[in-house]
Amino acid sequence: MENQENQEKKHKRRVRYSGTHPRNYKEKYKELNPEKYADTISKVIQKGGTPAGMHISICVQEILDFFDIQPGQQGLDATLGYGGHTSKMLEKLQGEGHIYGLDVDPIESAKTKKRLEEKGFGSDILTVKLENFANIDKVAKEAGKFDFVLADLGVSSMQIDNPDRGFTFKAEGPLDLRMNPEKGISAAERLHDISREELAGMLVENADEPYAEEIAEAVTEKIRKGGKIETTTGLHQVIGEALAFIPEKERKEAIRKSSQRVFQALRIDVNHEFEVLYDFLDKLPGVLKPGGKVAILTFHSGEDRLVKKSFKQWKKEGLYSEIAKDVIRPSKEECFRNSRAKCTKMRWAIRSEE
């Protein structure tokens, strides 16, 4: 007992080591200007990390092998992000053909457009559009049909790593979670008006959260009593309080996992991710040339189920001639190099010749 008290005193007295690392995202590394600090960047990548301000593309070789891009073709990257996949696909065009790159994020897509321009991919070969992939029919109407279409779903590392966007509970920031912060409502606003039942349903449907009821009750009670949940860490704290009944030994890990799932569920909700994916999948055969190819990378089971179902349905109706029999997974080596690849599933389909 005495020993324990002594230890607690010691613990309290300890001055926290502030470390040599920059304390916030904006100071973090030189990574926000990745092209300028190639050495720092390659060291982070070698250790299996993703440098802040950058995104490491997944299954690049598998996608290139499947598309077998030829000079003169026209492609669509439905989720431009950092432009990693797009720049590799542009290289395959060898200066002939065109790629349309869509994204809903005005902040990152402007940076990507500039970065790709500086790499030599100007408007003659690349068109970057601030557009939701739910509207691919509109894009194809202007551009014509595509030989290949890629969708790499979800969020980019730049979005996750930037606390101002509110995608992670690991850093303090506004509880926003919108890919386009200029449209729709933030996650904080969404929580403000939601009922306990609706929130519990959302957590189960979008993320299979096992403690959906407990978390929904804690969140809505706090708001009903006039409390505010407006920051990422604020929500994380309420989740912690809701799970206080879990034995101490398991609690920290349970709170971490539940927080991850709750943030995923809210992100899916405020960005209408299932609805737009549904529209995209529905319109896909109509924007592909005969023999055109589509590859989709998903990051959770809800997305993969939708892709699988749509591919099967269109194959049955004769619009796809071939679809991937099983999901394709990134190699173990890739998962080791990039931990964000671990949960990736890829599926592909080929438009029938008609």
Ligand X SMILES: C[S@@+](CC[C@H](N)C(=O)[O-])C[C@H]1O[C@@H](n2cnc3c(N)ncnc32)[C@H](O)[C@@H]1O
Window contacting ligand X (CB under 6 A); options: 2-10, 97-105, 191-199, 316-324: 97-105
* Complex with ligand X: residue 132 or 232, whichever CB lies closer: 132
- Whether residue 84 is annotated as binding a ligand: the answer is yes
Q: Euclidean distance between the first and final Cα of the chain, in Å?
A: 80
Which one of 35-43, 115-123, 148-156, 249-257 is the stretch in contact with ligand X (CB under 6 A)?
A: 148-156
* Long-range pairs of 1-4 with CB within 8 A, sequence gap ≥ 24: none
State the CB neighbour count (10 A cutoff) for residue 18.
Answer: 7
Among 66, 82, 121, 348, binds ligand X (CB under 6 A): 82
Amino acid at 130: L
Whether 159 has a binding-site annotation, put simply, is yes
Residues 6+ apart with CB under 8 A from 79: 102, 103, 133, 150, 151, 152, 153
Among 51, 52, 85, 166, binds ligand X (CB under 6 A): 85
**According to the binding rule CB under 6 A, does residue 269 interact with ligand X?**
no
Residue 267 interacting with ligand X (CB under 6 A): no
CB of 109 to ligand X, least distance (A): 7
Number of residues that bind ligand X (CB under 6 A): 22
Q: Which two tokens stand for residue 12?
A: 């309290």
Q: Is 133 annotated as a binding residue?
A: yes
Q: Which is nearer to ligand X, 152 or 214 (CB)?
A: 152
132 counts as binding ligand X under rule CB under 6 A:
yes
- Determine, following the binding rule CB under 6 A, whether residue 97 of this chain makes contact with ligand X: no
298 binds ligand X (CB under 6 A): no
The residues, any chain, with a CB within 8 Å of residue 151's CB and separated by 6 or more, are 78, 79, 133, 280, 294, 295, 296, 297
Minimum Å distance from CB 89 to ligand X? 10
Give the nearest distance from C-beta 45 to ligand X in angstroms.
14
102 binds ligand X (CB under 6 A): yes
Verify binding: residue 154, ligand X, rule CB under 6 A: yes
Q: Where are the beta strands (DSSP E) in 49-92?
A: 74-77
Name the residue nearer to ligand X (CB basis): 85 or 236: 85
In the structure encoding, which two tokens stand for residue 241, read together? 């309080």
Task: Name, in order, each residue with C-beta under 8 angstroms of 312's C-beta and a sequence gap of 6 or more.
Answer: 323
Q: Does 161 bind ligand X (CB under 6 A)?
A: no
Identified binder of ligand X from the candidate list 93, 104, 191, 199, rule CB under 6 A: 104
152 binds ligand X (CB under 6 A): yes
Kindly tell me the burial class for residue 282, based on how many C-beta atoms sit within 10 Å of its own C-beta (0-12, 13-18, 19 or more): middle
Other CB atoms within a 10 A radius of the CB of residue 309 amount to 12
Q: Which one of 44, 50, 57, 175 is in contact with ligand X (CB under 6 A)?
A: 57
**Binding to ligand X by residue 176, rule CB under 6 A?**
no
- 97 marked ligand binding residue: no
| Partners of residue 347 on adjacent β-strands | 296
H or E element that contains 127: strand 126-130
Residues 168, 172, 177, 180, CA torsion sign: negative
Considering only residues 53, 75, 83, 330, which one is a binding residue for ligand X as defined by CB under 6 A? 83
Please, what is the minimum distance in Å from the beta carbon of residue 237 to ligand X?
A: 27
Starting from the edge strand earliest in sequence, which strands make up the sheet with 126-130, in order?
126-130, 98-103, 74-77, 146-152, 288-298, 345-351, 320-323
Which chain residues interact with ligand X by CB under 6 A? 55, 57, 79, 81-85, 102-105, 108, 132-134, 152, 154-156, 179, 276
- Residue set of the binding site for S-adenosyl-L-methionine: 83-85, 103, 133, 152, 159
